[in-house]
Amino acid sequence: MRHLGKGSHIARHRHTEHQLVYASSGAAEVRTDTGRWIAPPDRAIWIPGGYWHEHEFYGPTRFHLVGFTAASEWAAPTVLATTALVRELVIACSAQSELPGPEYARLHQVLLDQLRRSPQLRLQLPAATDERLRRACALVEQDLTVTWTLAELGHRSGAGERTLTRLFRTELGMTYPRWRTQLRLHHAVRLLAEGVAVTTVAHRCGWATPSAFIDVYRAALGHTPGRAHRQP
């Protein structure tokens, strides 16, 4: 386990073993060439072995890593729900040097079994490859309080509205409104980890009202954003 300050960064790297990334406080983000994944304290990120990636951390973070050599059913980075049991197993297994070998092996196997039962969650922002789509996405992310229409984005990015509609579906696997919601949630998790008030987060991330933000957040993560401030 490592204590990391706000804004900490781990440079691009890869490892042969699979890894589970978990922040028991703050939030951890994994970035690859294909997208970004973020995990508040009730989520963890599985990183397959051999995947080039880097980490960003938001808020004061307690950062845990657990390695796995067994074959994985997750071929790409994946955000997994963490039950209370999984949380305690991750914390225990990340302190491997403090445990006798046989005890660690048993806990490690139980953790892997529990992870295989954990729901996968869409806290991912896929990366665009088409330059026009990249420009459109960058415009939206630059200021989430601005509500861009596809026609406006197309005019600014050099692609027609129909072309952008197609690119969002084929490259990012979702509609433009769905992607924009994912982007807002991603930024909301970051801001909440840094202690920003829920009302301020709602405004900065482009929701019309705090209640609208709370409804979307609860639907996506299963609890209200206010709970993020109460995480241990």
**Please, are residues 206 and 145 in contact by the beta-carbon 8 Å criterion?**
yes
Q: Domains in the chain and their CATH numbers?
A: 2-124 (2.60.120.280), 128-230 (1.10.10.60)
pLDDT, tens digit only, all 232 positions of the chain: 788 877 899 999 999 999 999 999 999 999 999 999 999 988 999 999 999 999 999 999 999 999 999 777 888 999 999 999 999 999 999 887 777 889 889 999 999 999 999 988 878 999 999 999 999 999 999 999 999 999 999 999 999 899 999 999 999 999 999 999 999 999 999 999 999 999 999 999 999 999 999 999 999 888 899 865 555 4
Residue 109's pLDDT is 93
Residue 1's pLDDT is 73
Residue 122's pLDDT is 78
Residue 229's pLDDT is 53
Residue 29's pLDDT is 95
**Please, are residues 91 and 133 in contact by the beta-carbon 8 Å criterion?**
no
- Crossing angle of helices 131-142 and 150-157, rounded to 10°: 120
Q: What is the 3-state secondary structure (H, E, C) of the chain?
A: CEEECCCCEEEEECCCCEEEEEEEEEEEEEEECCEEEEECCCEEEEECCCCCEEEEEEEEEEEEEEEECCCCCCCCCEEEECCHHHHHHHHHHCCHHHCCHHHHHHHHHHHHHHHHHCCEECCEEECCCCHHHHHHHHHHHHCCCCCCCHHHHHHHHCCCHHHHHHHHHHHHCCCHHHHHHHHHHHHHHHHHHCCCCHHHHHHHCCCCCHHHHHHHHHHHHCCCHHHHHHCC
Residue 180's pLDDT is 96
